Chain A
Amino acid sequence: MAVAAAIVCTASLAACSGDDGGAPELTWYINPDAGGQDAVAEACSTDAYTISTQVLPQDSSQQRIQLARRIAADDPSIDLMSLDPPFTAEFANAGYLAEIPQDMQDAFREQAFDSAAEAATWEDELVVAPFWSNTQVLWYRKSFVEKAGIDMDQPVTWDQIIQAASENGGKIGVQANKYEGYSVWINALISGAGGQIASETDRGADAEIDIASEAGQEAARVIEELTASEAAPADLSVSNEGTSGTTFGGDQGSFLVNWTYIWGNYGDDRLGDDIGFARYPQTVEGEESRPPYGGIGIGVSSSSDNEEEAIEALECLTSPENQGLNAELTQNMPSSEAGYDQPALKELFPPELVALFQESLETAAPRTVSPYWSDMSSAIQSTWHPPSAVDQETPEQSANFIEEILNGDSLL
């Protein structure tokens, strides 16, 4: 390895980070996408530094593992990284993220949506720069809804769509494999009923676990109802964003909760202009739904040799223009209103959809911001999976299990 690196370095001196004289090369570890971050990296390369990208694994848990292990071992080859919001607190708490100067923090906070800024904050410090923000909406097949006779202009509940789908031979696409996406769904259901998974998370492992509540039981009820109904797809217990998208595009496609990029998922034809969209379904009738929040914040590694340049680069990488550029190429939506104002986006999405995304983002419920989120999430996945085993006892069981895990009394 070292020999190979040495050869590469002699061949092109300028490209080697840390070499005195030449402009340093900043390495940005990105989550896989359709080329948006590559384009942004190129746009932000200046005479002072060039930014190159390295792709992380597809699975967000694997992204976390790779980044954490490398930074824990003081790997200087990571300068910038795209971080999923649920792991931001853990990284900040472990000291993996270089501090962002206060004036830049203020500027980023000013620019971003509230939910995006909240997800990027740990102990009152903005620790990553919000880059793109994602949320889920309820996608539906227009032809199916017409057949079922539901008015999609009014907010709908999970009960309603489950009933409509099962009565009309449709399958509902959700994410219920044993993975982070299932926790996203559960968190949205609980938040939609006015609850939360945990609070007082600044106490670390002693956080208050609130999942065993009425809201938790409402969430369990929705999952129970779906799995017991005809609307449950056969692959429910192994479904993820991709497979649920396939179900939605198939003959029995009816409803789907999924991220913003679904709009571009079926080509320009959009299943014969059959895709409709509405606000994320309500867990409890009359109570405003809380759609999931996802996205990416860009952090600077505390082990980077080029910390100063990397922090400087954040400003360009997360500028409204580049958020727009990224959204144009990947359909991953901007984390700021200014990003939404980019002309390219206006052509990409119908104005009602852009308005729905923005409205959803404003009310989105981020996952619990805690350095122990990945433990909580895994504990939830082990007690709530398979979905067919969920019943009214599940919230209570998962609360006990999470507490045991955080106390180190149980294996996860």
Chain B
Amino acid sequence: MSTAVAPDSERDTGRATKAKDSDRSVAENRLGQKLVAPAVIMMVLVTAWPMAQALYLSLFRYRLTTPDDREFVGLGNYGTVLTDSLFWRDTWNTVLIMVITVGVELVIGFAFAMVMHKIMIARGLMRTSILIPYGIITVVSAFAWQFAFSLNNGFVNSWLPFFEDNFNWFGDHWPAMFAIMVSEIWKTTPFMALLLLAGLSQVSEDMLEAAEVDGASWWQRLWKVILPNMRAAIMVAVLFRALDAYRIFDQIYIMTKGAQDTESISFLTYRQVIEQMQLGMGSALSVLLFLSVLILAFGIVKLFRVDLAQARGEG
């Protein structure tokens, strides 16, 4: 059975008109630019300026507590960071957390979205209860899970079979990473489910019925009809969550403070800038963090081959 996707006529006409824009679309574009200008200027002031400042600072050896030592080092900070094993280990941790949590969230989130979509009784109550974890502040959820896994006052060990009562979840790398990821997954799966629910409700019932009449099994309808038609929604969900997960900080800060090699890139950056007050080195790290997030976003957009204009519903 071939994959059924809604006709792409809109996209085709979009390409055709791109060649020569009508007077009307030119005028609309101009108006659009004027309307968006105040927001752009504000954005430049509040985001571009600090970014430029970080870029500038990253070229110096500059420590807040020894301001007299400030010295121009060019790309030296980047060299130190990129050749340091700690940076790469933290990058690996971050990528690992991102891939695993987003993967698990996608599966569980999809199941939740299906439940929210299909359920007939107590719909509001069910949707609300699924969304509750997302409404909880990340730091609070991290504390809750830290207490749950804690050896001194936690309950996880006594609930789980095969674990001794004195198993220290934060005493070793993998258990600590596991605890961090559980907290992250618990907290953000509802967000994933919400985004997927939006995509799910866009899948045409007609197509599903047609597939059913054609004799497609439940599994075939899921893989050949529902998922391909949700591609844009999945892309948005994965993109948002991946970028969020890549910047993971709160859970690590609360649960391990980076001990047991559980540090992420954001945490490393925080330590350089805030704890060690190394403004130069820390700025270099933030610039690298920003670049890697950009690359990540670009990669995900490419991977899902989604036309962003189409996702916005533009012609």
Contact = CB atoms under 8 A, between A and B. Distances in A.
Given A68-B277, A94-B67, A386-B259, A408 B80 contact: yes
A238 interface: yes
A412 interface: yes
A314 to B, nearest CB: 23
Contacts of B236: none
A237 B257 CA distance: 12
A411 B272 contact: yes
Interface residues of B, number: 30
Interface residues of A, number: 32
Contact of A178 (B66, B86, B259): B259
Given A68-B277, A177-B259, A238-B259, A246 B152 contact: yes
Contact of A69 (B64, B81, B257, B258): B64
B276 interface: yes
A91 B281 CA distance: 21
Contact of B86 (A61, A237, A238, A411): A411
B166 interface: yes
B80 A409 contact: yes
Interface in A380-394: 385-386
Contact of A371 (B65, B152, B272): B65
A120 B314 CA distance: 68
Contacts of B271: 412
A68 B64 contact: yes
Contacts of A213: none
A235 interface: yes
Nearest to B67: A94
A65 B86 CA distance: 23
A91 B151 CA distance: 37
A234 B151 contact: yes
Contacts of B65: 68, 72, 90-91, 93-94, 96, 371
B61 A408 contact: yes
Contacts of A236: 171
B275 interface: yes
A60 interface: no
Contacts of A61: 275
Interface of B: 61, 64-67, 80-81, 84, 86-87, 151-152, 166-168, 170-172, 257-260, 268, 271-272, 274-277, 281
Interface of A: 61, 65, 68-69, 72, 90-91, 93-94, 96, 177-179, 204, 234-238, 243, 246, 371, 374-375, 378, 385-386, 408-412
29 contacts: A65-B274, A65-B275, A68-B64, A68-B277, A72-B64, A72-B67, A72-B277, A91-B65, A93-B65, A94-B64, A94-B67, A204-B66, A234-B166, A234-B168, A235-B151, A246-B152, A371-B66, A374-B276, A375-B276, A378-B276, A386-B171, A386-B172, A386-B259, A408-B281, A410-B86, A411-B84, A411-B87, A411-B268, A411-B281
